[in-house]
Structure 1
Amino acid sequence: MMRIDYELKDLPLEAQKHSRIFRIHRFIDAASVGFFAVIILLLLQSRGFGLFDIAVLLAVFSGTSLVLELPLGGLADGIGRKPVFMLSIVAFLLSILTLILFESYWLTMLSLVFMGLRMALVSGTLAAWFVEKFNRLAPEFSTQPVLAKNQFAMLMGQAISSVAGGVIADFYGSSFIDYGIGKFELPLVGAFILGIVVFIYTHFLIIEDRHKIDLVLIKSGFSNLGHIIYDSGIYGFKHRFILLMLVGTTCTSLALYTFQTFWVPFVKPMLNDGYAASIIGILTFGYYSSQAFGSMIAAPAIRLFNGDVAKALAGLTFICALCLIGISFTTHIYAFIVMLALYTLFVGSTSSPHKSIFHEHIPDDKRSTLLSLEALMARLGGLVGLLFIGYIADEFSIATAFKAGTIFIFAASFLYYILSRRIRNISNH
């Protein structure tokens, strides 16, 4: 049986080095995106775009990543994770540069197309590379603890850059207007610089031995895309465990994506408008840092359920639903902060158990594509949630929309409980 309760120092030296390199990578990469995420809605509003205009722009962003998710995940299986990830950084830099230099609606849309391309390229690449190499270097150790630490590093990167982005916009945004850089464009400069750092770090420190880059192999990777996608899709939907995980991902994403979209307008009436960007940045810091610390409670939760990872996942997901109900009843900023911290803490705790179960049931040659399939289902759930729960928010209230979202999180919890029973039945036989 693989070891779950261990420290980094217990791993073989090469596995320790591998984990440290990737953890730093996660932090820097997430920090570059955090600058973008915290100000994008405020930036679009500052340019005079209405709510419908913004909805269309975000739909283009989501649609681009949705359409390209599987083909590009399959490409990573065909030609290698590292080259595809580095292409994602190029798309990110193009997106940020376009957003800084141009303000028109159509060029802003082009920028979000590039960002959607980035999201499609990045999923199922280095995450798959990390797991495969870790399994080779430390086959007797479970991936759950290291995945939790990777998630912690990623979320802390997003958290720190989010608060930094809000503070930069509010307190230094007017300093560079003479240079053509507006209040909300300035944090994007930080995102661009960090994007270049990620590119250099990836080039020199992420070593992928499985694939060698050459034109013949690249052409072969593209020509095999259809087969890779079809084969992995059939495998994913016929495999009972993976199918349950995919449906669970869709249900939780339906609620979680909607919460990510509506929590800012939900809390904004409780805030002082003069420092909205800074306060939202600080709340976003809390949002991500609480998720980061949540990843640390996954292991104790698993021990509480006697090592049953799936049952722990079911319990933690159930608590997420209860916390979202609590948020929907808040009307004061302090109550909202407490409930937001609890909600994101338990959302963070579900990630590594989910990933650990998923990785244990997928083969290496389909790993990137199946991870992209999972990301596709997550984004599909998110789009459905934005339409369905977004309609409820518009017609009734955001609080009512949050309550509707909890139904789907409860459903996911039930699916993970069924998954636990199936895993236990197989183990008993």
Structure 2
Amino acid sequence: MTARSALRRYMLVSFLTWLPPGLMMASMVLLMTGRGLGLAEIGLVVTVFSVVTVTLELPTGGLADVIGRRMVLAASAAFTVAGLALMSVSTTFWMFMLSGVFKGVARALSSGPATSWYVDTLHGIEGRDADLRPGLARGGAMESVALCLGVLAGGALPLLAPPSLIFPLAAPPLAGAMAALVLLIVVVFALPEPGHGRRSLAGVLREVPATVIGGVRLSLGGAVLRRLMIASAASGLVLMSIELLTPGRLAELAGTAEEGSLVYAVVAALGFAGSALGSSLAPRAARLAGGSARGAIAGTVLTALSIGALAATAGLDGPPGVVSAGLAYVCLFVGGAVTAVLCLEITHNAVTAAERTTVTSTSSLSLQSGGIVANLTLGSLAAQAGLAAAWSAAAVVMLASALLFVRMPAPTGSSPAQALPARSGSG
């Protein structure tokens, strides 16, 4: 396999992994409402999804490092097919709950293995000094393109589905299940990787906890990865502040919930397009800034300024409010994507294949932890002091996180021992 072939396969898998979530995004809540669920029940379904994802994040990362990336990605695709197919035919609370469990398992399984497969493959072809930025940037761009196209297609499918054949709002998750089935086929037949040898179930059960513990110790014990985990938590707080507060703000600007939903779908699609652009620009940003850490600072500052712009325009009404919020939203995702790609490059240069997916899962867990903090704090702050105060607080957190990249030790790319200082010396 050549480096170009590996990149094409990685980009395809990245696109297909995020297309199903994009397809179901616009109709998910409306589908559950149409099938008789109340807001409290819908909240429980979403909560179960989040709890399952967080709980399995590290064990599935360790599993991918032990048994291989392809098997875990295939399992993720299979659970996605099951979860979305069940969602499309669910008529009761418990059916939707089981669908949420399946989707949570799939999300946890998909966190990291595709990128780890690409990095391992590229290192095998070009050595440990291979330039990861272009490939990781294109993979990130394909994820954003999938979400952008998926949310637009998912919003249009209910209007195109014949009511006599299917409940219209069930069409998007059904299409997502079909896309996940394509992903399963691609993963099985197009992602070759070195064999991991025959292992007994008992052997795997022993190795996975040890791998997880080693990966967590590495993430917390080294200066580079520890800083990246904190930066990931800050990004999670900011992203949740957007997901939590933007829909209500746009509904208020549009006039009605229905019109606000449409506006939000369009703004979300533009945000994903901005994320694709930011991912593509990440290598150039690193070159212009003089390194990945400095490029990450630039992306973080742009993100912080964009949230500050949301706070500054929170008092605008009508079209000016919609346009200013939309522009800030797009710029925010451009900056966030630049930072995400460069952080991913630094992370993979700081670890070896043995704990690669576990460490990226730890980063994903940090991101979700930041989101939990935002859920517990920013919603109450917005209710008591207004949107401007909540977004200002998020902007301050994001801007402060830029300091994490100042004088960051550069991974040498040969081993964790070289890339990171000793645990006792780093405090």
- Both structures adopt the same fold (TM-score exceeding 0.5): yes
In structure 2, what is the equivalent of residue 230 of structure 1?
213
Aligned residues: 406
In structure 2, what is the equivalent of residue 298 of structure 1?
282
In structure 1, what is the equivalent of residue 46 of structure 2?
58
Aligned 8 A contact 1:167 1:278 in 2: no
Aligned 8 A contact 1:38 1:281 in 2: yes
Amino acid at match of 2:298: G
Amino acid at match of 1:194: A
In structure 2, what is the equivalent of residue 257 of structure 1?
240
Q: Structure 1 residue 351: deviation in Å?
A: 1.7
Aligned 8 A contact 1:152 1:293 in 2: yes
% of aligned pairs identical?
21
Match of 1:95 among 74, 83, 105: 83
CA distance in 2, matches of 1:124, 1:137: 20
Q: What RMSD over aligned residues (CA atoms) do the two structures have, in Å?
A: 2.3
Match of 2:185 among 200, 206, 218: 200
Q: Structure 1 residue 274: deviation in Å?
A: 5.3
Q: Structure 1 residue 324: deviation in Å?
A: 0.8
Q: Structure 1 residue 108: deviation in Å?
A: 1.4
CA distance in 2, matches of 1:274, 1:95: 27
| Deviations, residues 196-217 of structure 1 (Å, cap 9, x unaligned) | 11111111111111425x5x34
In structure 2, what is the equivalent of residue 190 of structure 1?
175
Task: Tell which deviates more after alignment, 271-280 or 293-302.
Answer: 271-280
Match of 1:143 among 97, 109, 132: 132
| Deviations, residues 34-60 of structure 1 (Å, cap 9, x unaligned) | 102232233344445444433333222
CA distance in 1, matches of 2:306, 2:150: 26
In structure 2, what is the equivalent of residue 77 of structure 1?
65
Aligned 8 A contact 2:224 2:409 in 1: no
- 1:417 to 1:52, Cα distance in 2 relative to 1, 3 A: farther
Match of 1:347 among 332, 336, 340: 336
Aligned 8 A contact 1:163 1:284 in 2: no
Aligned pairs for 1:231-250 (under 5 A) are 231-250=214-233
SS at match of 1:419: coil
Amino acid at match of 1:202: V
CA distance in 2, matches of 1:393, 1:64: 28
| Deviations, residues 85-107 of structure 1 (Å, cap 9, x unaligned) | 11111111121122111132222
- 1:54 to 1:384, Cα distance in 2 relative to 1, 3 A: farther
Aligned pairs for 1:417-428 (under 5 A) are 417-419=406-408
Aligned 8 A contact 1:159 1:289 in 2: yes
SS at match of 2:26: helix
Aligned 8 A contact 1:311 1:420 in 2: no
In structure 2, what is the equivalent of residue 390 of structure 1?
379
CA distance in 2, matches of 1:372, 1:103: 33
CA distance in 2, matches of 1:357, 1:294: 17
Structure 2, unpaired ranges of 5+: 413-417, 420-427
SS at match of 2:167: coil
Amino acid at match of 1:107: M
Q: TM-score, normalised by structure 1?
A: 0.88
In structure 1, what is the equivalent of residue 2 of structure 2?
14
CA distance in 2, matches of 1:30, 1:67: 21
Aligned pairs for 1:21-36 (under 5 A) are 21-36=9-24
CA distance in 2, matches of 1:53, 1:275: 24
